Amino acid sequence: MQITSSGLEIVARRETARFLFNVDVEKRIVFVRFGKKITAEDIRRYAECLRTTPEFNPELSEMVDLTEVEDLELQADDFLKLADEIDCFSPRAWRAFIVGNSVQNHAARLHKILRTPANMRIFNSLEQARGWIESRPWISG
C-alpha cells in the first residue's frame, strides 16, 4: 500500500492484477476499478483489503468501475454471499457503479437489488457517477 499526501488530501492506494482502489479521505470516496476478469474471490480480496486499510470507513461513498470487465465469473450464490457477507460498506453509503455493457449492468443491478439501498445507482460514464456522488449530503466523521 502506498499513502501519499498532497495538501489536505490523503489517498491510500492498492493495486493487484484484478483490481485497483484508492481511498480519498478528504472527498470521502473509495474508487475501485476491476480488470478484465472478476471472480467472487477477487471481490472478497478487495473487501479484505479495504477492511485492513486504516483510512477506510464503511460510511465512505464508493465508485465501482466495471467498464474493463470482460469475464465475470459469478454465480447466483456468489451474488448472495457478496451482498450478505462480504460487502463492507454501510447501507447508508452512496454507491455508484460505472458500466459499459449489459453483462456489467446486470451484475451491478443484482448487487443493487440484493443490498436494497436507495442510494445505489448505475451509470454509463465516470463523469455521471462522479457528479452524482459529489452531490451527496456531507456527513462528517
Residues 30-69 have pLDDT tens digits of 999 999 999 999 999 999 999 999 999 999 999 999 999 9
| Backbone angle region of 116, left / alpha / beta, with phi > 0 → left and psi within -120 to 50 → alpha | left
DSSP state of 47: H
pLDDT of the residue at 139: 52
In the prediction, which pLDDT does 110 show?
A: 85
Smallest CA-to-CA distance from 89 within 115, 47, 58 is with: 58
Mean pLDDT rounded to a whole number for the chain: 84
**Domains of the chain as residue ranges with CATH:** 2-134 (3.30.750.24)
Q: Where does 26-69 show beta strands of DSSP type E? A: 29-34, 37-39, 61-65
pLDDT score, position 13: 58
- The arithmetic mean of pLDDT across residues 11-20, rounded, is 67
pLDDT tier, 74 (very low <50, low <70, confident <90, very high otherwise): confident
pTM: 0.83
Please give the pLDDT value at position 10: 44
Residues constituting the chain: 141
Q: How confident is the model at residue 138 (pLDDT cuts 50, 70, 90)?
A: low
Task: Copy the grid coordinates of residue 28.
Answer: 470521502
Q: What is the pLDDT of residue 93?
A: 92
Work out whether strand 61-65 and strand 29-34 pair parallel, antiparallel, or are unpaired: parallel
**Which letter does DSSP use for residue 4 in this model?**
E
